[in-house]
Structures are given as C-alpha cells and as structure tokens.
Amino acid sequence: MKRIKPLLPAISIFCIALLVRIIYNLTVARHYYPISDSLAYQVRAFYMLDEHCYCEAPHLVTVVRAPLWPFLIAGLSLIVGRANIFDRLFLCSVDAGTCLLIYLFARDLFNKRIGLVAGLIACIYPALYIYTGWMYTETLFTFLQTAICYCIFRIQRNEGTSRRLWILCGVLLGLLSLTRPNGILVIELVILWAAFLIWRKRLPKKVLLNVALTTLIACALIAPWTIRNYLVSHSFVPVAIGDGQVLIGAYNDKILTMNGYIGSWIRSGLVSQQGVKPLTTGSCQGYAACEVAIGNHETDVAIHWVKSHLNAIPQLMVYHLRNFFTPYTAEADMPLNRFSTGRSSKIVLAMSETFPIPIFLLAALGLVVTLRRYWRELFFAYLVVLSTLGEIQVFYGNARFRSPIEPILILLAAGALWWLTQTAPGTLRWKLSQHR
C-alpha cells in the first residue's frame, strides 16, 4: 500500500480522463463511422490486412498519409476486430495518457497541487477529448508531442545525463514523424533547443553526443518507410506527401471570398480551374509516382497564386491566426456535427465553444508570469508553440491544428494559477507580502 499511495494521484487522473472519454464515445460518438480522412486511414489499414499492401484502392500503392495510425488500426483489427469502437477506445486511452503527462509536467514544474489542478482541467477539457471519437491523427500526435516535451523537460532537469531519456526521446520523435510528416520538424527543434542551451551554458557540450544519438534513433525508425516510398514512387518522400493538396486548397481565389471558407481550406477539386491535372497513371511510372507529380504540380500552382496575390497575403495570415484561435471549428466528419441533435452533443458543443476562452486567457497570463523563472524549463515548449504557429501561417488555420499545443496551453494556464494562488517566491502573494 505504501508503494501505491504516491501513485494514486496519477492513477486517479488517468482513470477520470479515461472515463470522460469513454462516456463521450458512448454518447456523442455512439453511432460514429469513418468518412473522409478517417475512412482513408481505415481503408489503408484494411488493405494491409487483406492485400498486404499500403494502398488507397485495390493494388494502388500510395505515398499519401503517414503510416503509423493505419498500422495501429490494422493491429487492433487483428486483436479485437474491425469495429471502429475499438480504435476509438484506444484513442481514449492515449488521450488519458496525455492528461497524465500534463499532470506530471505541472507537478514537476510547479507543485503537486497545481499538477492535480492541471490534470483535472485536462480531463474535462473538450478540445482534447473530442478528437478521440474522430479517428483522425490529432489524439495520437498530441500524445507523442506532449511526451517529447515532458521527456525534454526531464532531460534538462537531469542536465542531459540520462541516456535512457535520450533513447526514449529518439523513439518518440520517430513515432511522431510516422504519425504526421510535420513531426520531422520537431527533430529539428530538439537540435535547436540543445544548441541554444549549450550556447547559453545551461547544458554541457558532451550533450551533443546524446543529441546525435537521439537524432540517429529517430532517423532509423523513419528510414525503412522512406526507402519503401522511394521504391514505389522513385522520389525522395521521407514519410508522406500531401503538402501540395493542402497548399492549393489554402491559396486560391475562393478562400478569400467564399462564405464558410475564408482563410481556411477548400478541396482541390473545387479549384480545378487553376490547372490541376487529374490523377492518371499514363504519364507516370506507377500510381505513387503520379501522386508525387500531382503534388508537386499543386504546390507550383499554389506558389504561383501567392506570387500573383502578394497584397492579399497579410490579410490571409490574419485569417489563419483568427481561425486557429477560434474555440471550436466545425468539421464535417466530427461527431459533434454529424450527431448534433443529441442532448450530449449540445452540451459538449457548448463546452467546446466556451472552455477554451479562459484557458487562452490564463495561458497568456501564465506565459508572462512564468517567463522569467521558468523560461529554461519551458524553452522547448515555446519552440513547439512557435513552430505550430509558423505552420498554420504557411498552410491555414483551424482549431483542430491547435490540438498538439493544447497541453502546453493548459500547462501555461496552470502557471497562471500557480502565480495567483501560491506563496512561493515570484508569485503574486509573495510580491504583495514583500511590500507590507
């Protein structure tokens, strides 16, 4: 019992978070079935099981979409069956893990009480759990990126001496990159973080060897898939393509004028007047090679549009930022929208439209009041947030793209609560007591 007692807060946070997510999936998302992107992931998983190929149609090998989530769906299908409820319950467990990491991060950074508050906020925060019923990659990516942030925090606390943490970080970076292609950018952030802290003499120079080890492990996990992509497409595709489709959908005339799509994204089929060629195999060496060719062409078309509409770009950047910080952005495939008439859906929707606002405000306050004391511990988290903001400016803004940094926002909000309620040096109460 003495061994279990210190673990009770962490176990409680995980169990409460898991319960909330299971209830959501058995009420709001009870009748969910995959369509759109979630169907694309499921199709790839089932083709791996039935035809032993990573395909989007019979015998059509593809390099669109990262492989980790389809591989996990395939594995779950082998163990428990193909009903999508099992995939969503898996995501519930993953997201409960994210809540646990938020608790541990806030506990180690501030104190146990603030950690519990942060963990409980994460448990009921709809911007985290609504994606467990969606079968997209948001939940998995958010968990892996939060785990990397916490791992980097622990590495820094140990002054880079723990080889196990560096190895774990490398594995997490590789898995993150195989979840979404932009996960590779986080590898670069780790290198930048280490270089900066070594330059500031906050880490010893010998840490560079561990950074190289971490990078090597991440690349080793990604390399087999990169080789596979080259063999099927005859092009260098580290994880997956898709930037072209995103860019042409984010940079066209309609996203400046079409109601409901202002500063957002529209399917490339609706902007075909810009000269996007249909996907055919006649002019390419295979289906995957055609995907790469079409993706490159779409990128060129988007760049041409940007060059010819430079005056509209500043306004578009404002739209991207506005959409990014909109509390909730409706998605066609979201259970909240597909089953919007249910009482539980209305409750969660109301929470989704209101809960993020106080978190944004507290996070902004937390950023200011913790900057002086905790900037070193949170420096990597800052880099992650800045990188995410940079990505949505390049592509487009949407509330679901905020999901990977929601744990960091909750952590900063916890910092604000620490400053407002605690008596440690640097807090509001401590400063007031100094003037008495």
Per-residue pLDDT averaged across 155-179, rounded?
A: 94
Q: Which amino acid is at 343?
A: R
Q: For the beta carbon of residue 78, count every other beta carbon within 10 angstroms.
A: 11
Please check the confidence at residue 277 and state whether its pLDDT lies above 70. Answer: no
Lowest mean pLDDT among 40-54, 135-149, 265-279: 265-279
Given a cut of 80, is residue 2 above it in pLDDT? no
Q: Considering only CA atoms, which of 260, 274, 255, 292 is closest in space to residue 396?
A: 255
Q: Quickly count: other Cβ atoms within 10 Å of residue 266's Cβ.
A: 17
What pLDDT does 161 receive? Answer: 86
Are residues 367 and 235 in contact, defined by beta-carbon separation less than 8 angstroms?
no
In this model, does residue 283 exceed pLDDT 60? yes
Instruction: Please tell me the predicted confidence (pLDDT) of residue 286.
Output: 86
C-alpha distances out from residue 134 to 88, 138, 268, 336, 365, Å: 8, 9, 23, 10, 32
The yes-or-no verdict on residue 298 having pLDDT over 80 is: yes
The pTM for the full model equals: 0.95
Region class of 162: left (phi > 0), else alpha (psi between -120 and 50), else beta: beta
Q: For residue 120, which phi and psi values (nearest 5 degrees)?
A: -70, -40
Q: Which two tokens mark 313?
A: 């770009």
Predicted pLDDT of residue 382:
97
Answer whether 148's CB lies under 8 Å from 186's CB: yes
| pLDDT score at 273 | 47
* Selected residue with higher pLDDT from 191 and 432: 191
d(CA 387, CA 120): 27
- Report DSSP letters for 273-309, one per residue: GG-PPP--STTSSSHHHHHHHHHHHHHHHHHHHHHHT
Q: How does pLDDT run across 175-217, given as a tens digit for each residue?
A: 999 999 999 999 999 999 999 999 988 899 989 999 999 999 9
Output the CA–CA distances (angstroms, integers) from residue 248 to 6, 244, 245, 254, 297, in the order listed. 52, 6, 5, 11, 9
What is the distance between the alpha carbons of residues 192 and 188, in angstroms, rounded to a whole number?
A: 6
Neighbours of 330 (CB within 10 A): 13
Pairing, β 55-57 against β 60-61: antiparallel
Whether residue 434 is predicted with pLDDT greater than 80 in this model: the reply is no
Helix axes 287-308, 243-250, angle to 10 degrees: 30
> Lowest mean pLDDT: which of 80-89, 173-182, 280-289, 386-395?
280-289
C-alpha to C-alpha distance for 158 and 257, rounded to whole angstroms: 53
